[in-house]
Amino acid sequence: MQKAAIERNNEAIAAQLAPVGRETVQDRVYSELRRALIGGLFEPSQVLTIRGLADALVTSTMPVREALGRLITEKALEALPNRSVRVPPITLDRLDDLLRARILIEGEAIALAAARMGPRQIATIETILGEWDEMRALKHKKDVDREVTLNQSFHFEIYRSCGSAVLIPMIESLWLQSGPCIRVAIYAFSEAGEVDTAQYHRRIVTALATQDAQAAREALVADISRPFTFLRHKLQSAAKDQT
């Protein structure tokens, strides 16, 4: 019987080919909206319509409405009583609430990751740091989108190492919720260009390289608190101006 030979052949084929996967339209819409949300491409309080998004994404309404529903359950979007959906507005309370949750959960994740990151993972995040420096070097063109992307890659490369399939989706949800807020902060930082984000990230890397969970947590808290406190002051002064 040539069963074994066939089996070997199939295995050889399988070794060559990568699984093609099957991404649905709904998945693509969902990813695209997530990207836009985390990147802060939508403004807080902005109203989104199903047909409008479907036109923009060149699909029918069906995938869009399901993607919107999913984002609403993640609190990345908000369902108004009118049944229209909007990006949640920023309030001081919400800002504090989000920051506290992020410190709690991302802090735990990085503490777990500190004990589990090998030289390979450390090298990966150092590569991301290098790309960041490279980008900053040619400073004429301040590409905020790229900053956001690199920042995201840096953090999630760490979180992925925490080994918790439960915490990571929660962190993603938190980023989704804070995305529309922190965009303005990152943009302002990029404008000012003074205190470099890279410096905060470097502190995180050194802490992780020495497997110092406590130091890593503190460095992370400092990093993610910055845009929030910045926004906080901005909102407070804006409120004072209005009165």
CA-to-CA distance for 228 and 175, rounded, in angstroms?
13
Residue 202, CA atoms < 13 Å, CB-side half-sphere: 9
Count CB-CB contacts under 10 A for residue 225.
Answer: 15
Q: Which residues pair with 79 in a beta bridge?
A: 85
Strands 78-79 and 47-48: unpaired
Residues between 101 and 120 with contacts to a copy of itself, criterion CB under 8 A: 101, 104-105, 108
Query: How many residues make contact with a copy of itself (CB under 8 A)?
Result: 29
Binding mask 67-106 for DNA (x = CB under 7 A): ------------x--xxxx---------------------
Q: Which stretch binds DNA (CB under 7 A): 57-65, 118-126, 165-173, 213-221?
A: 57-65
Q: Confirm or reject binding of residue 170 to a copy of itself (CB under 8 A).
A: yes
Using alpha carbons, select from 219, 222, 198 the residue that is nearest to residue 210: 219
Q: DSSP assignment, residue 40? A: T
CA-to-CA distance for 120 and 129, rounded, in angstroms?
14
Q: Confirm or reject binding of residue 60 to DNA (CB under 7 A).
A: yes
Positions in the binding site for DNA (CB under 7 A): 3, 6, 22, 24-27, 48-52, 59-63, 65-66, 79, 82-85
Positions in the binding site for a copy of itself (CB under 8 A): 22, 26, 65-66, 69-70, 72-75, 81, 83, 94, 97-98, 100-101, 104-105, 108, 164-167, 169-170, 173-174, 177
